[in-house]
Amino acid sequence: MRDLSLHLMDILRNCVDAGSSKVSIGLKADRDDDVLTITVDDDGRGIDPGIANCVKDPFVTTRKTRKVGLGLPLLADSARMSGGSLELVSKEKGTLVKALFSISHIDRPPLGDIGATVAGIIGAETDIRWILTFDNCNKIFSLDTDDIKKRTEGMDFSQPVIIAWIKDYVNEGLKFVFGGVLNEISC
């Protein structure tokens, strides 16, 4: 994966496959500790306790098409390579994925086109409520698909014009929160 937005897409697909109805996505930069935290919190069916301890093993997967599953292992590797870690918390209902990255580490992947990831998944999975929050240096941006639903008065927002607008909206928020350059994190 070239950047964090592609990892995010991969993890969000897991939430969809787990049958979630509400997914919260968070990107939070903590300048004092030099930590970027990406959280994905869903209310899906969760990870089978039998494999919960070994899902970071690429040869453990629930998919049927082949015997390797690389989504979480690749994310775990990206996090580890940049001085961070990947935590998985099985909740009563659903899973919380928490990926930590050291912001200043030279191997930390750039943020990438988060707007394209978020807009793509919102448009493709309109039945799920998506909540997005960016947080950096007291600057906060958030998006809740329930608000979009209200604004569009229940219209199906998988329409290309609406998805394109969401993409630009999210990327504007990303620039506002994380600094002028889309890919980078600054104050």
How far apart CA 102 and CA 98 sit, in angstroms, is 13
Closer of 92 and 153 to another protein (Cβ): 153
Residue number, 103 or 167, with CB nearest to another protein: 167
What's 125-143 look like in SS3? Answer: CCCCEEEEEEEECCEEEEE
User: How would you classify the pairing of strands 95-102 and 22-30?
Assistant: unpaired
Of 103, 91, 49, 51, which Cα lies nearest the Cα of 72?
51
Least distance to another protein from the beta carbon of 173, Å?
A: 8
Of 95 and 102, CB closest to another protein: 95
Of the pair 91, 150, the CB lying nearest another protein is at 150
The token pair at 89 is 């918390």
Please report how close the Cβ of residue 83 comes to another protein at its closest, in angstroms.
Answer: 23
Chain positions contacting another protein, by CB under 8 A:
1, 5-6, 9-10, 13, 16-17, 63, 65-66, 69-71, 74, 113, 116-117, 119-121, 123-125, 147-148, 151-153, 155, 158-165, 167-169, 172, 176
Query: Any bridge partners for residue 88, and if so which?
Result: 97
